[in-house]
Amino acid sequence: MSEEVAAEGHGPRTEPSDGSEADLVSGADEPLLSVENLTTQFDTGEGVVRAVDGVTFEIREGEILGLVGESGCGKSVTSRSLMSLVPSPGSIVDGRVEFQGEDLLERSEEELRQVRGQDISMIFQEPMSALNPVFDVGWQIGEPLRVHENLSTAASRTRAVELMQRVGIPSAEDRVDAYPHQFSGGMRQRAMIAMALACEPDLLIADEPTTSLDVTIEAQILEIIEELNERQNMAVFLITHDLGVVAEVCDRVAVMYAGRIVEYGDVVDVFTDPRHPYTKGLLDCVPDPRRQQESFDPIEGQVPDLVSPPAGCNFAPRCPFASRDCERTDPSLREVDDDHYSACIWEDPS
Amino acid sequence: MSTEPLLRLEGVTKHFLQNDDLLSRLRPDREVTTVRAVDGVDLSVEEGTTLGLVGESGCGKSTLAETVLQLLEATEGAVYYRGEDLTEYTDAQRRAFRSEAQMIFQDPFSSLNPRYTVERTLVEPMAVHGIGDSRADRADRAAELVERVGLGAEHLDRHPHEFSGGQRQRVAIARALAVEPNLVVADEPVSALDVSVQAQILNLLRELRAEMDLTILFISHDLSVVRQICDEVAVMYLGQVVERATTEAVFEDPQHPYTEVLVSSIPTPDPTDDREKITLTGDVPTPIDPPSGCRFHTRCPAVIAPDDWDHGQDVWRRALRFKELVADGDVRPAAMREQLAAGGGSPDDDDVAEALLEEHVVEGGLTDSDTVSVPGPVREVLLEALSMLVDGDRAAAQDRLDEAFSSVCESQIPAHYEVGDGHTAVCHLLDDDHAGDWDSPLASVDR
């Protein structure tokens, strides 16, 4: 941690209180899932890519946490790391993923299988490739029940129909025999959600669940997710690139850039009073459907190459507020307001 | 109109035939089906303006664009460019037309030749269309172009794989502009890009449009982007244009219920925004056999009820939707009976009918608030139809429902109504007879 203190008109940098970043972020109550210093890297031919670089956040019981960022920022790798589903050549090299007080990264593959689909389930962006084309939908929705709750084939089918009704699939008792290719995109995503819900998980990880869908269908799917969150008190970890979706459904949000969480807090706080220059820039370039903007303020430049990330702050090369300190100091998350964290040397750049 | 617009479409129709290959034709049991991708579109684009074409996937936006550029042959109708009918052009004329009109595609990863350097990508269309006097001149023009789209001369000898998505889209734009076109058709040009890059490309398109006086046909499913870049908007649903107006009017004063739904469903990046939303039920119907009357009536939140209907819009829509489900064969008594039997007991016909009524009409949604109470007389008709269905007589059930619930929206094709200067919409609600039949939940917000 650097001792340098920046002046130049901006709020001076206050040194974080002693203790690690992780202690800082932890709330008072025991969270449902707490992620500490999670680090996942990929050994590629060009070098080691730290796709997730010391990420810390937590998901409280019954809340919807959004993880937002542009492509390649490490969102999906983060979500997969939580379930130890990082594809080769990636591996989790550091950190803890504590779910209901136990570290998931310590568990064996067999133990993890007990968790997946039962306590934590996951839905993906491409429902067509996530569903098996050769089994009918009812069989697939009932599968977690047969695996985790030892239900018979007939009983799992009956439950599958109920689940399909719950996510608003019309004529579920008929469609239970249909195959994925007979479903539309929105209907497939509903089937995925039904499958994820089968064992009434405490946490649903939704990785870009509406990205491939039209706005009208997207609205339907988001409504289902919100509804289930409220009715079953199921926490949701929603990964998306769409700030509009986050604003619509999330309680809290983590903004990710180049493998790091750069801002984290209540959605209203982060969106109305963004403290990290990246969040500000991102919000500025989202087109607002409610008015015609004179021009946009795009963030200049490109996302850094993670094989050789910039020294100091990852965002410094593109940041309009960057100073010399930014090239030397690698800022970590610190509290800038009540339950609002930013990883910038400025408390409030503007 | 006194002056001819740059581009004018008259009844443009594009149908695709399915199963129309030799093998299928030899088999009389396989029918050739017609996909009505674009069905009778009239549009005009004035020189120097940008028209947005919006709608859900599968509504025919891209097919229409390709038909405009003569990449697809129109099944019917005419496309006039500066008053000349493109569909009558000879091959040579059509080739010449390509230097007037160019296209930018959605995916810059697949629309650039991976073996060509940027320079070759830009010079080749110039050479084909005889632009520039010599190789050297064309190379100069290419260098100028890359700078114009925000890249540097050092990029000229690179290949597409060396670029990021945003840079590739810049190359694609430069290629389209290489032949100095008047008309650019941009098919989802920013949809594959991240927001920060998307903003860069939108700025670039705005600058170039002003600089080169381009006319743009901008196709997008993203209404928030359309709002930023278009002068006018045409909203498409199942191959037809349902509303056409200035961008301002489409967003602030939409006349077609479908437009209202689209505008209201755009997520805004403002967590304090509590606009009303209208959520549509169901998916887009297939363009193979589009719904009768108004094509939107199967999903419309504002289907017109008969004058003597006094059970409210909610029940009305449920009844109509149920009728639709029965017609599509989506209400299956046998499956329900099995389902009930699996839960224990031996259900009789009445139980099955009740259960189907409960599922398809009463509940109809996720939340308890989606549950409607069905008034006695309506319930009676529905149960009557259901018992016919349980007896296996679907035709009778359908007749009974048709007799009890029918709407002008499903029986008659709505006319085009002129609601303001250059603002047209195709909806029965705009007819004087039905004005005020629907209180839009959005109406109170900002009208």
Per-residue pLDDT of B288-346, as tens digits, reads 888 889 999 888 888 888 888 888 878 888 888 888 888 877 788 888 888 888 777 77
Q: Say how far apart CA A78 and CA A53 lie, in whole Å.
A: 10
Least confident of A40-49, B14-23, B106-115, B246-255: B14-23
Whether B335 contacts chain A with CB within 8 A:
yes
Residue A25 has pLDDT above 60, yes or no: no
Model confidence at B373, pLDDT cuts 50, 70, 90, reads: confident
What pLDDT does residue A24 have?
A: 53
Q: Say how far apart CA A119 and CA B297 lie, in whole Å.
A: 42
Residue B104 has pLDDT above 70, yes or no: yes
Each residue of B307-331: b (16+ CB within 10 Å) or e? eeeebebebbbbbbbbbbbbbeeeb
Residue B437 has pLDDT above 80, yes or no: no
Whether B394 contacts chain A with CB within 8 A:
no
Find, in chain A, the residue whose alpha carbon is nearest to that of B361: A170
Q: In angstroms, how far is CA B63 from the centroid of its own chain?
A: 10
Q: Which residues pair with A39 in a beta bridge?
A: A53, A94
What would the two tokens of residue A321 be?
A: 């507020």
Q: Say how far apart CA B88 and CA B177 lie, in whole Å.
A: 26
Nearest to B270 among A187, A227, A247 (CB): A247
Q: Which residues of A touch B277 (CB under 8 A)?
A: 219
Residue A6 has pLDDT above 70, yes or no: no
Find, in chain A, the residue whose alpha carbon is nearest to that of B223: A289
What pLDDT does residue B410 have?
A: 87
What pLDDT does residue A14 have?
A: 42
Model confidence at B444, pLDDT cuts 50, 70, 90, reads: very low
Model confidence at A12, pLDDT cuts 50, 70, 90, reads: very low
- Segment (H or E) for A2: none
Q: Say how far apart CA A224 and CA A221 lie, in whole Å.
A: 5
Residue A341, amino acid: Y
Q: In what order do the strands lie in the sheet with A260-266?
A: A120-123, A203-207, A235-240, A64-68, A252-257, A260-266, A340-342, A334-337
Residue A21 has pLDDT above 60, yes or no: no
Contact B247 A292 (CB under 8 A): yes
Span B215-226, average pLDDT: 93
Residue B201 has pLDDT above 70, yes or no: yes
Among residues B184, B231, B188, B234, the alpha carbon closest in space to that of B208 is found at B184
Strand pairing of A334-337 and A120-123? unpaired
Contact B227 A242 (CB under 8 A): no
Span A94-109, average pLDDT: 91
Among residues B323, B317, B286, the alpha carbon closest in space to that of B300 is found at B317
Find, in chain A, the residue whose alpha carbon is nearest to that of B261: A216
DSSP A25: H
Contact B251 A288 (CB under 8 A): no
3-state helix/strand/coil string of A183-243: CCHHHHHHHHHHHHHCCCCCEEEEECCCCCCCHHHHHHHHHHHHHHHHHHCCEEEEEECCH
Contact A174 B332 (CB under 8 A): yes
Residue A18, amino acid: D
Contact A173 B360 (CB under 8 A): no
Phi, psi for residue B87 in degrees, rounded to 5: -70, -15
In the A/B pair of chains, how many CB contacts fall below 8 A?
Answer: 162
Q: Say how far apart CA A50 and CA A43 lie, in whole Å.
A: 9
Phi, psi for residue B256 in degrees, rounded to 5: -90, 135
Q: Which residues of B touch A287 (CB under 8 A)?
A: 198-199, 202, 222, 224-225, 227-228
What pLDDT does residue A145 have?
A: 94
Model confidence at A11, pLDDT cuts 50, 70, 90, reads: very low
- pLDDT, tens digit, for every residue of A218-251? 888 898 899 889 988 999 999 999 999 999 999 9
- 3-state secondary structure at position A41: strand
Residue B439 has pLDDT above 80, yes or no: no
B249 to chain A, closest Cα gap in Å? 12
- pLDDT, tens digit, for every residue of B26-43? 777 777 788 899 999 999
Residue B435 has pLDDT above 70, yes or no: yes
Span B408-430, average pLDDT: 90
Whether B198 contacts chain A with CB within 8 A:
yes
What would the two tokens of residue B59 be?
A: 């509504």
Which of B162, B246, B366, B445 would you mutate first to test chain A, the one with the most A CBs within 10 A?
Answer: B366
Q: Say how far apart CA B193 and CA B389 lie, in whole Å.
A: 50
Q: Say how far apart CA B55 and CA B72 lie, in whole Å.
A: 20
Q: Which residues of B touch A70 (CB under 8 A)?
A: 194-196
Contact B200 A244 (CB under 8 A): no
Strand pairing of B215-220 and B50-54? parallel
Contact B359 A245 (CB under 8 A): no
Least confident of A114-123, A167-176, B88-97, B421-430: A167-176
- Distance set, CA B272 to CA A64, A241, A300, B92 (Å): 16, 19, 28, 57
A294 to chain B, closest Cα gap in Å? 8
Least confident of A214-223, B13-22, B169-178: B13-22
A134 to chain B, closest Cα gap in Å? 22
Q: Which residues pair with A90 in a beta bridge?
A: A42
- CB half-sphere exposure, B129, CA atoms < 13 A: 23
Q: Which residues of B touch A267 (CB under 8 A)?
A: 271
Q: Give every CB contact of residue A324 below 8 A, 6+ residues apart in sequence.
A: none
Find, in chain B, the residue whose alpha carbon is nearest to that of A295: B203
- pLDDT, tens digit, for every residue of A252-307? 999 999 999 999 999 999 999 999 999 999 998 888 888 888 777 888 877 888 88
Contact B227 A287 (CB under 8 A): yes
3-state helix/strand/coil string of chain B: CCCCCCEEEEEEEEEEEECCCHHHHHCCCCCCEEEEEEEEEEEEECCCCEEEEECCCCCCHHHHHHHHCCCCCCCEEEEEECCEEHHHCCHHHHHHHCCCEEEECCCCCCCCCCCCCHHHHHHHHHHHCCCCCCHHHHHHHHHHHHHHCCCCHHHCCCCHHHCCHHHHHHHHHHHHHCCCCCEEEEECCCCCCCHHHHHHHHHHHHHHHHHHCCEEEEEECCHHHHHHHCCEEEEEECCEEEEEEEHHHHHHCCCCHHHHHHHHHCCCCCCCCCCCCCCCCCCCCCCCCCCCCCCCCCCCCCCCCCCCCCCHHHHHHHHHHHHHHHHCCCCCHHHHHHHHHHCCCCCCHHHHHHHHHHHHHHHCCCCHHHCCCCCHHHHHHHHHHHHHHHCCCHHHHHHHHHHHCCCHHHHCCCCEEEEECCEEEECHHHCCCCCCCCCCCCHHHHC
- 3-state secondary structure at position A306: coil
Residue A194 has pLDDT above 80, yes or no: yes
Q: Is the dihedral of CA B258, B260, B261, B265 positive or negative?
A: positive
Which has more confidence, B254 or B317?
B254
Contact B197 A242 (CB under 8 A): no
A112 to chain B, closest Cα gap in Å? 32
- 3-state secondary structure at position A283: helix
Nearest to B325 among A171, A242, A247 (CB): A171
Among residues B138, B53, B139, B149, the alpha carbon closest in space to that of B108 is found at B149
Nearest to A285 among B199, B284, B359 (CB): B199
Model confidence at A213, pLDDT cuts 50, 70, 90, reads: confident
- Of chain B, the percentage scoring pLDDT greater than 70 comes to 95
What pLDDT does residue A97 have?
A: 94
Whether B164 contacts chain A with CB within 8 A:
yes
> Does residue B149 come out as left (phi exceeding 0), alpha (psi in the -120 to 50 range) or beta?
alpha
Which has more confidence, A350 or A2?
A350
Angle CA B119–B120–B122, to nearest 5: 65
What pLDDT does residue B301 have?
A: 86
Strand pairing of B423-426 and B240-246? antiparallel
Each residue of B125-151: b (16+ CB within 10 Å) or e? bbeebebbeeeeebbebbbebbebbbb
Phi, psi for residue A343 in degrees, rounded to 5: -105, 75
Contact (CB, 8 A) for A194 and A166: yes
Residue A9 has pLDDT above 70, yes or no: no
- Distance set, CA B422 to CA A289, A303, B302 (Å): 22, 44, 24
A126 to chain B, closest Cα gap in Å? 15
Q: Give every CB contact of residue B267 below 8 A, 6+ residues apart in sequence.
A: A215, A218, A222, A242, A244, A245, A247, A248
Span A50-71, average pLDDT: 92
Q: Say how far apart CA A325 and CA A344 lie, in whole Å.
A: 11
What pLDDT does residue B364 have?
A: 63
Contact B266 A244 (CB under 8 A): yes
How many CB atoms sit inside 10 A of residue B43's CB? 21
What would the two tokens of residue A256 be?
A: 């990710």
Residue B51, amino acid: L
Contact (CB, 8 A) for A235 and A228: no
Contact B265 A219 (CB under 8 A): yes
What pLDDT does residue B365 have?
A: 58
Whether B202 contacts chain A with CB within 8 A:
yes
Which residues of chain B from 269 to 328 reach within 8 Å of chain A, CB to CB? 269-273, 277, 279-284, 325
Find, in chain B, the residue whose alpha carbon is nearest to that of A246: B269
Which of B194, B258, B299 would you mutate first to test chain A, the one with the most A CBs within 10 A?
Answer: B194
Interface predicted TM-score of the whole assembly (ipTM), two decimals: 0.81
How many CB atoms sit inside 10 A of residue B342's CB? 14
Q: In what order do the strands lie in the sheet with B84-85?
A: B33-45, B7-18, B76-81, B84-85
What pLDDT does residue A2 have?
A: 41
Q: Say how far apart CA A343 and CA A260 lie, in whole Å.
A: 9
Q: Which residues pair with A65 in a beta bridge?
A: A237, A252
Angle CA A86–A71–A42, to nearest 5: 35
Q: Say how far apart CA B176 and CA B125 lie, in whole Å.
A: 9
Q: Which residues of A touch B338 (CB under 8 A)?
A: 173
Find, in chain A, the residue whose alpha carbon is nearest to that of B332: A174
Contact A219 B338 (CB under 8 A): no
Q: What is the pTM of this model?
A: 0.85
Residue B216 has pLDDT above 70, yes or no: yes
Mean pLDDT of chain B: 87
- Of chain B, the percentage scoring pLDDT greater than 90 comes to 45
Span A301-325, average pLDDT: 86
How many CB atoms sit inside 10 A of residue B115's CB? 9
- pLDDT, tens digit, for every residue of A138-153? 999 999 999 999 999 9
What pLDDT does residue A20 have?
A: 52
For A126-175, give the DSSP string.
-HHHHS-TTS-HHHHHHHHHHHHH---HHHHHHHHHHHHHHTT-TTHHHH
Model confidence at A204, pLDDT cuts 50, 70, 90, reads: very high
What pLDDT does residue A341 have?
A: 94
B364 to chain A, closest Cα gap in Å? 8
Q: Which residues of A touch B272 (CB under 8 A)?
A: 268, 272
